Amino acid sequence: MIIALFPLLWLVITSFKSTGEILSIPPTILPKKFTFESYYEIWWKQPFKIYILNSLKISILSTLISIFVASLAGYGFAVIKFPFKKFLIMLVLIAQMFPGTSIIIPIFDLFKRLGLYDNHLGLILMYGTITLPFSIWMLYGYFRNIPKELHEAAIIDGCSHFGIFTKIVLPMARPGIAAVGVYSFLSAWNEYLYGLILISTETKYVISVGLAHFITEFGTYWNQMSAGAVLVVIPTIIMFIILGKNLIEGLTAGAVKG
């Protein structure tokens, strides 16, 4: 735990140091003088809050898309019988195996042709798509654990598959959906490559790209970068505090049945 948490602790400490103290040799463990100058600089004198708002908007909307599509697909694969089901579910898994760098050129060309380049809508669709394979498999395993007797009883009562899905399955699948939501949100929140390639206007940058711009040709602004990283971590901590129990339950429930 000490090894895992020390970089985060050092990040927080660095965000309260002045530029001169960060570069001092030997380095100081605790700041000689705590200062909020870095937080003030990035929040009021730089467009950092715009980057955060951009990332929040993109991450939330892409998460909703991922949850909506993955829950429908996971339910269909787990419950409904149709031709080539095993082949299609394996195809979904294969889609997860391709690294992002291998498809970035065709993705860039496609987005240019569709008018989605330098557009937040393009990133929303991109982030919602790249998390789908894992999300579908996670909910597929979760929905398979729901007793078949519930489906059979609902069908006997005249309920359609969509009615079963909305009235019975979704309320029971909240932990699994929470796990997918956290995974999708964090994937979009932390993603860097597509945000760098598909967005060119500074005011449209996401938070990961904005943090990288503290590294310049004249030097690295370590204290401002650390302050920005601390602000970036806060939403993820809040999410884990709120959904931590559901996240663990959803991950374990989806993993006990192959």
Q: Residue 97: phi, psi to the nearest 5?
A: -80, -20
Could you tell me the pLDDT band of residue 255, with boundaries at 50, 70 and 90? Answer: very low
- The answer to whether the bond into 26 is cis (omega within 30° of 0) is yes
User: Which of the given ranges, 31-35, 44-48, 65-69, 254-258, has the highest pLDDT on average?
Assistant: 65-69
For residue 93, pLDDT over 90 is answered with no
Q: Which residue has the higher pLDDT, 237 or 113?
A: 113
Confirm if 140 and 74 have CB atoms less than 8 A apart.
yes
Could you tell me the pLDDT band of residue 65, with boundaries at 50, 70 and 90? Answer: very high
Domains of the chain: 1-35 (no CATH), 46-253 (1.10.3720.10)
What would the mean pLDDT of 54-75 be, rounded to a whole number? Answer: 92
Q: What percent of the chain has pLDDT over 70?
A: 94
Position 248 scores a pLDDT of: 62
Could you tell me the pLDDT band of residue 64, with boundaries at 50, 70 and 90? Answer: very high
What would the mean pLDDT of 105-122 be, rounded to a whole number? Answer: 92
Could you tell me the pLDDT band of residue 1, with boundaries at 50, 70 and 90? Answer: confident
Separation CA 84–CA 64 (nearest Å): 28
Q: For the range 115-120, what are the long-range contacts, defined as Cβ-Cβ under 8 Å and sequence gap of 24 or more?
A: 116/198, 117/198, 117/200, 118/198, 118/199, 118/200, 118/201, 118/204, 120/54, 120/57, 120/58, 120/199, 120/204
What would the mean pLDDT of 222-247 be, rounded to a whole number? Answer: 81
For residue 250, pLDDT over 70 is answered with no
Q: Which residue has the higher pLDDT, 142 or 50?
A: 50
What would the mean pLDDT of 111-115 be, rounded to a whole number? Answer: 92
Position 26 scores a pLDDT of: 82
Tell me the pLDDT tens digit for each residue of 144-159: 877 777 777 777 777 7
Q: For residue 165, what are the contacts with CB-CB under 8 A and spacing of at least 6?
A: 71, 72, 75
pTM comes to: 0.83
Tell me the pLDDT tens digit for each residue of 116-132: 999 999 999 999 998 89
For residue 210, pLDDT over 50 is answered with yes
- Give a three-class secondary structure readout of 10-58: HHHHHHCCCHHHHCCCCCCCCCCCCCCHHHHHHHHCCCHHHHHHHHHHH
Tell me the pLDDT tens digit for each residue of 154-198: 777 777 777 777 777 888 888 888 888 888 998 999 999 999 999
Confirm if 181 and 63 have CB atoms less than 8 A apart.
yes
User: Which of the given ranges, 20-24, 201-205, 243-247, 254-258, has the highest pLDDT on average?
Assistant: 201-205
Position 182 scores a pLDDT of: 87
Q: For residue 111, what are the contacts with CB-CB under 8 A and spacing of at least 6?
A: 117, 119, 122, 126, 198
